[in-house]
């Protein structure tokens, strides 16, 4: 018998598959439920003192009291609205400024030479490092709070926009020029669409930095806000309120990240399919 021709054997192209959104969602739900169950088991068995890790029931009780306004503090919606205005106000302002700066840095060596040194100098610094200087310069009103969050969002937005401007291939730009497109049309219809995926990723990263800077920003003489609520509770060793505030901040940040994913799928449906 003659051996079959190995070259004619069909190739197995389905050996590696990327998991869908449905399976990832199921795994995420199972993971969260497992962590919640482990948390409840740990506290019910008394393995960790309530001072260090309160039970889920205690955290939910504080959440209910803050929601209904029966807590010995401002209601949760006041803290929530104040933090939302600070974070998203600073984020929108940073987007309006940093994205054009990043685009200019990606298009021109002159602009890159102007903006690259200050961005790279302050980008690795934690917000608490330059918080005292911001207080000395701008006082303790709302401006330093918004400015601190603005600076934490600015660098990732600018760097993402700068990196995205290099995503368009030279062949795509040459093809547009060969069809009679002007320089402005190439930037608008070729370069910017190619840069949009990285800009959206930069926005997701930036809002994460903004929420992580919230507690530091509300250290500046704030009397309302989620970060201030967490900070004030920590001074009185109210770990249940601290964990409740952390969970609320995390849920809001995660919700915005999900929203950005939906926007990303609508604006750049080709991402990951090339």
* Structural domains of the chain, ranges and CATH numbers in brackets: 78-267 (1.10.3720.10)
What tens digit of pLDDT does each residue of 91-150 get? 999 999 999 999 889 888 999 999 999 999 998 888 888 888 998 999 888 899 999 999
Which residue carries 């018998």 as its tokens? 1
Q: For 6, which DSSP code?
A: G
Q: Is the pLDDT of residue 19 over 90?
A: no
For position 82, what pLDDT does the model report?
Answer: 92
Residue 85: pLDDT band (50, 70, 90) is very high
Q: 260, 206 in Cβ contact below 8 A?
A: no
* Distance of alpha carbon 56 from alpha carbon 53, whole angstroms: 9
At 22, the pLDDT band (50, 70, 90 cuts) reads low
Q: Over range 21-31, report the average pLDDT.
A: 80
211: nearest Cα among 134, 132, 148: 148
Residue 244's pLDDT is 93
Q: Per 3-state DSSP, what percentage of the chain is helix, strand, and coil (rounded to 5)?
A: 75, 0, 25
Confidence of residue 18 (pLDDT cuts 50, 70, 90): low
Q: Would you say residue 6 has pLDDT above 50?
A: no
For residues 238, 243, 244, 246, the Cα torsion angle rounded to the nearest 10 degrees is 130
Per-residue pLDDT of 136-180, as tens digits, reads 999 888 899 999 999 999 999 999 999 888 877 777 777 887 888
Angle between helices 142-164 and 192-212 (to 10 degrees): 150
Gap between the Cα atoms of 1 and 148, Å rounded: 78
- Comparing CA positions, the residue from 100, 122, 82, 36 lying closest to residue 214 is 82
Cα distances (Å, whole numbers) of residue 63 to 47, 54, 71, 145: 24, 13, 9, 25
Please check the confidence at residue 68 and state whether its pLDDT lies above 70: yes
Ranking 54-63, 140-149, 194-203, 211-220 by mean pLDDT, the lowest is 211-220
* End-to-end C-alpha distance for the chain, whole angstroms: 45
pLDDT at 72: 83
Q: Quickly count: other Cβ atoms within 10 Å of residue 236's Cβ.
A: 9
Task: Tell me what the pLDDT averaged over the chain comes to.
Answer: 85
pLDDT of 1 > 60? The answer is no
Give the pLDDT score at 189: 80
- Tally helices (H) and strands (E) across the chain: 12, 0
pLDDT of residue 10: 47
At 2, is the pLDDT very low, low, confident or very high (cuts 50, 70, 90)?
Answer: very low
Contact criterion met (CB below 8 Å) for 228 and 222: yes
pLDDT for the residue 141: 86
- Mean pLDDT over residues 51-67, rounded? 92
Q: Is the pLDDT of residue 237 over 50?
A: yes
Centre a 10 Å sphere on the Cβ of residue 246 and count the other Cβ atoms it contains. Answer: 14
- Confidence class of residue 16 from pLDDT cuts 50, 70 and 90? very low
Print burial letters for 158-171: b (CB count within 10 Å at least 16), e (below 16): bbbbbbbbebbeee
pLDDT for the residue 247? 92
């Amino acid at each position: 018998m003659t051996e079959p021709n190995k070259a004619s054997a069909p190739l197995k192209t389905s050996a590696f598959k990327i998991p869908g959104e449905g399976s990832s969602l199921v795994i995420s739900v199972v993971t969260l439920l497992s962590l919640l169950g482990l948390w409840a088991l740990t506290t019910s068995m008394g393995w960790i003192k309530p001072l260090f890790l309160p039970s889920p029931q205690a955290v939910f009780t504080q959440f209910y009291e803050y929601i209904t306004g029966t807590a010995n503090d401002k209601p949760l919606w006041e803290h929530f609205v104040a933090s939302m205005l600070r974070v998203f106000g600073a984020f929108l302002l940073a987007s309006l400024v940093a994205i054009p700066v990043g685009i200019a840095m990606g298009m021109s060596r002159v602009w890159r030479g102007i903006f690259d040194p200050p961005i790279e100098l302050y980008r690795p610094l934690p917000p608490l490092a330059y918080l005292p200087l911001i207080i000395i310069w701008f006082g303790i009103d709302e401006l330093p709070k918004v400015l601190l969050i603005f600076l934490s969002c600015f660098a990732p937005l600018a760097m993402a926009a700068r990196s995205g401007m290099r995503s368009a291939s030279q062949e795509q730009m040459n093809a547009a020029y060969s069809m009679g497109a002007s320089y402005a049309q190439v930037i608008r219809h070729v370069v910017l669409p190619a840069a949009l995926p990285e800009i959206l990723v930069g926005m997701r990263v930036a809002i994460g930095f903004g929420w992580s800077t919230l507690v530091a920003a509300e250290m500046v003489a704030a009397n309302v806000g989620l970060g201030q609520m967490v900070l004030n509770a920590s001074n009185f060793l109210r770990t249940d309120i601290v964990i409740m505030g952390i969970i609320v901040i995390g849920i809001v940040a995660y919700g915005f990240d999900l929203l950005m994913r939906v926007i990303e799928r609508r604006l750049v449906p080709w991402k990951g399919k090339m």
